Amino acid sequence: MNNMKYYNDSLAYDFEMFMPKTAENQNTRDNIVVMPKTAERSKRRTRAAARSLTSPALLIMTAVFILAGLCGNIALRIKINEVNSEINGVKSAITELDSEKTSLEVEIQRRISYSNLELEATQLGMRKMEKSNVKYIRVNDKDKAVTADGKTVVAE
């Protein structure tokens, strides 16, 4: 394409751009260069690839890879099922231990209830404190006390 005419003329009046191209202009493209050796090499490669795709070794290798993938998938699923069964076993053990803990807590609360404690104390000969059992100590100016032994205790 001759681009120099666009620099000299106005583009607004160039109607050749919109005209149908002749057969001569359609076949020649300025920006593509065909390298003859490269075209031959690519043809050889496609032929070799076509031959190798039909070989039985490739089919066997493909079958082996597919079979290996399936076996690996099955092995992983088996392992997942084993781990899930272990998890479920541990969860059931936890549930059982929680229920046992609850029953033991109820038993402890029953044994240490106030009424049972009071009953056990009266059976051992204990009784509630009365006013006559309380002994008061009078302290005048100083903080001191006399014990039953006769010793004097002074607060420091």
Q: Is residue 49 part of a domain?
A: yes
Whole-number pLDDT of residue 93: 96
**The predicted structure's pLDDT at residue 23:** 61
CA of 76: how far to CAs of 70, 79, 81, 116, in Å? 10, 5, 9, 59
> Does residue 135 belong to any structural domain of this protein?
no
Three-class SS state of 137: coil
CA distance 10 to 16: 12
pLDDT tens digits, one per residue of 45-87: 777 666 655 677 778 888 999 999 999 999 999 999 999 999 9
CA atoms of 66 and 74, how far apart (whole Å):
12
Quick one: CA dihedral 18, 22, 27, 32, positive or negative?
negative
Residue 24 inside a domain? The answer is: yes
- Residue 6 belongs to some domain of the structure: no
From CA 87, how far away is CA 26, in angstroms rounded?
74
**3 located within any domain:** no
Total number of domains constituting the chain: 1
Share of the chain above pLDDT 90, in %: 29
Question: Do the domain assignments include residue 142?
Answer: no
User: What SS3 state is found at 153?
Assistant: strand
Q: Which domain holds residue 42?
A: 19-126
Residue 7 lies in a domain: no
Q: Answer yes or no: is 132 within a domain.
A: no
- The mean pLDDT of the chain is 79
Statement: the pTM of the whole predicted model exceeds 0.85: no
pLDDT (tens digit, 9 = 90+) per residue, 39-48? 677 777 777 6
69 or 118, higher pLDDT: 69
DSSP designation for 154: E
Q: Work out the percent of the chain whose per-residue pLDDT is above 70.
A: 68
For residue 4, name the pLDDT band (cuts at 50, 70, 90): low
| 70, 78, 80, 87, 88 from 83: Cα distances, Å | 20, 9, 5, 6, 9
pLDDT value at residue 84: 97
